[in-house]
Amino acid sequence: MRPLFVRRARQLVTLAGSSAAPLVKEKMSDLGIIENGSVWIENGTIVAVGPDDELVRRFADRLAEAEVIDAKGKTVTPGLIDPHTHLVYAGSREHEWTMRLHGATYMEIMNAGGGIHATTKATREASEEALYEESKRRLDQFLLHGVTTVEAKSGYGLSLEHEIKQLEIAKRLHDTHPVDIVSTFLGAHAVPPEWKHDPDEYVRLVIDEMIPEVSRRGLAEFNDVFCERGVFTPDQARRMLEAGKASGLTPKIHADEIEPYGGAELAAEVGAISADHLLRASDEGIRRMADGGVIGVLLPGTAFFLMTKAADARRLIDAGVPVALATDCNPGSSPTVSLPLVMSLACLHMGMTPAEAMAAATINAAHAIGRAHLVGSLEPGKKADLVIFNVPNYMQIMYYYGVNHAETVIKGGKVVVNDGKVYI
């Protein structure tokens, strides 16, 4: 394989030196930008990063054999990373969206049998092929927006058979698609209608049957729970997260999305790698997350789509919580794959700076899914996952919002998107 030489970026955003621990407080602004920067890539791995003239001198005797991509006037960043998606699902819920536009709430729709239950019905009924194709289409769109690694949750099967089906499809996508997928078991997404009469029996099924089988098959690295009033209580969530830990699944938690419910506190108690949403997290919960090093994954696209106030990122960052960003891609509360738009919303609705949003959608997102040793920054030895944005500086990725500025995407040293088309 010829070396790949990505040259002369007007801004090369490296985030160098951030792989050991997630960035917190003012460190979230240290992007390690190199003006007129270049990257030398061999066999899918970054060999060197630095000013263009330094790399030209260092590799002078190999320039002739290298494939060169001229990024002059453009911005090069690490591949974006989405640490919270519900990627694998069937169907869509635009009719519910119009109900919410006329005043219905998320929980009213769910309690009336819609919401997650509607998607569960569609996902259970979908053939494996249909589910794979629908999810692949979304994954192609993620890639076109510069996202090179995504976390994908189950949670629309809500039975052992169908949860396994979702996770098997996520694995098949990981094996066949350029985008890397990190899987999370979310059997505790909701109590399915057939167990509405006995929620605790469903919790027992999750603990005694689903978690051990998912772990035995190696189909997930994380175990997540939707801890919310009317879904799962903190006590039920604690039991399922502890069961996941006993089976080697690291805890994650959908916490304090709709009302303060102790999710952030529980995340710190069980040693979760991340607590996600946090729109209504308490000060005490945020303090405990900071003390425990729990990453706060914020989802301003969800707040935007649910027409509610977004999480207070400033409060979390100032408290010392490492913050990451994600789309929460799902058919009910955040039907989008545009992580760049989420970065814009992080600035517009959550008080983050463009620099913090960039760190939150790269290295801190990588930490939130246990991949910071591999991706999330441009440093020698890391995977050559890069995006060339057709803007002169990283701020314009978010400032000039609602537009996809990703022009070229390089995954593992291979150009997989060019001029806005996917080449797989």
User: Which residues sit in the known binding site for N-formimidoyl-L-glutamate?
Assistant: 156, 330, 332
Strands (E), 281-353: 295-298, 323-325
The residue range among 1-9, 32-40, 327-335, 387-395 that interacts with Zn ion, by the rule CB under 5 A, is: 327-335
Report how far residue 59's alpha carbon sits from residue 287's, in angstroms, rounded to the nearest whole number. Answer: 49
Residues flagged as binding site for Fe(3+): 84, 86, 254, 328
Among ligand IZC, Zn ion, none, partner that 119 touches (CB below 5 to 8 angstroms by kind)? ligand IZC
User: Could you tell me how far CA 21 lies from the centroid of its own chain?
Assistant: 17
User: What's the closest the beta carbon of residue 116 comes to ligand IZC, in angstroms?
Assistant: 5
Q: Is residue 328 within the footprint of Zn ion (CB under 5 A)?
A: yes
User: What's the closest the beta carbon of residue 204 comes to ligand IZC, in angstroms?
Assistant: 22
DSSP state of 371: -
Q: Which is nearer to ligand IZC, 79 or 296 (CB)?
A: 296
Q: Are 178 and 148 in contact (CB under 8 A)?
A: yes
| Of 358, 365, 360, 367, residue with least CA distance to 405 | 358
User: What's the closest the beta carbon of residue 371 comes to Zn ion, in angstroms?
Assistant: 19
The H-or-E segment that residue 8 falls in is: strand 4-13
User: What's the closest the beta carbon of residue 249 comes to ligand IZC, in angstroms?
Assistant: 19
User: What's the closest the beta carbon of residue 374 comes to ligand IZC, in angstroms?
Assistant: 28
Give residues with Cβ within 8 angstroms of 211, minimum separation 6.
185, 187, 223, 240, 243, 244, 247, 249
The residue range among 117-125, 162-170, 322-330, 373-381 that interacts with Zn ion, by the rule CB under 5 A, is: 322-330
Q: How many residues does the chain have?
A: 424
Among Zn ion, ligand IZC, none, partner that 177 touches (CB below 5 to 8 angstroms by kind)? none
Concatenate the DSSP letters of all residues of 192-207 into one string. -GGGTT-HHHHHHHII
Among Zn ion, ligand IZC, none, partner that 364 touches (CB below 5 to 8 angstroms by kind)? none
Report how far residue 66's alpha carbon sits from residue 273's, in angstroms, rounded to the nearest whole number. Answer: 40
Residue 200 is encoded by which pair of tokens?
Answer: 């605790």
User: Could you tell me how far CA 160 lies from the centroid of its own chain?
Assistant: 24
| Of 370, 351, 398, residue with least CA distance to 295 | 370
Q: Which is nearer to ligand IZC, 251 or 331 (CB)?
A: 331
Q: Which is nearer to ligand IZC, 93 or 371 (CB)?
A: 93
Task: Give the position of tokens 């995977």.
Answer: 383
Q: Which is nearer to ligand IZC, 298 or 416 (CB)?
A: 298
Report how far residue 82's alpha carbon sits from residue 188's, in angstroms, rounded to the nearest whole number. Answer: 21
User: What's the closest the beta carbon of residue 351 comes to ligand IZC, in angstroms?
Assistant: 23
Residue count, binding to Zn ion (CB under 5 A): 1
Q: Are 151 and 369 in contact (CB under 8 A)?
A: yes
Please give the residue ranges that form the binding site for ligand IZC (CB under 6 A): 86, 115-116, 119, 226, 254, 257, 330-333
Among residue numbers 145 through 164, which ones bind Zn ion (CB under 5 A)? none
The H-or-E segment that residue 164 falls in is: helix 160-176
Residues flagged as binding site for Zn(2+): 84, 86, 254, 328
Among all residues, whose Cβ is closest to ligand IZC? 332
User: What's the closest the beta carbon of residue 296 comes to ligand IZC, in angstroms?
Assistant: 16
Residues flagged as binding site for 4-imidazolone-5-propanoate: 93, 156, 189, 257, 333
Q: Which is nearer to Zn ion, 134 or 328 (CB)?
A: 328
Residues flagged as binding site: 84, 86, 93, 156, 189, 254, 257, 328, 330, 332-333
User: What's the closest the beta carbon of residue 153 comes to Zn ion, in angstroms?
Assistant: 7
Among ligand IZC, Zn ion, none, partner that 8 touches (CB below 5 to 8 angstroms by kind)? none
Q: Which is nearer to ligand IZC, 254 or 288 (CB)?
A: 254
Surface-to-core class of residue 153, CB atoms within 10 Å of its CB (0-12 exposed, 13-18 middle, 19+ buried)? buried
Among ligand IZC, Zn ion, none, partner that 226 touches (CB below 5 to 8 angstroms by kind)? ligand IZC
Q: Which is nearer to ligand IZC, 114 or 413 (CB)?
A: 114
Torsion angles phi and psi, residue 191, rounded to 5: -85, 120
| Of 130, 40, 150, residue with least CA distance to 87 | 150
Among Zn ion, ligand IZC, none, partner that 405 touches (CB below 5 to 8 angstroms by kind)? none
Among all residues, whose Cβ is closest to Zn ion? 328
Q: Are 357 and 346 in contact (CB under 8 A)?
A: yes
Q: Which residues bind Zn ion (CB under 5 A)?
A: 328
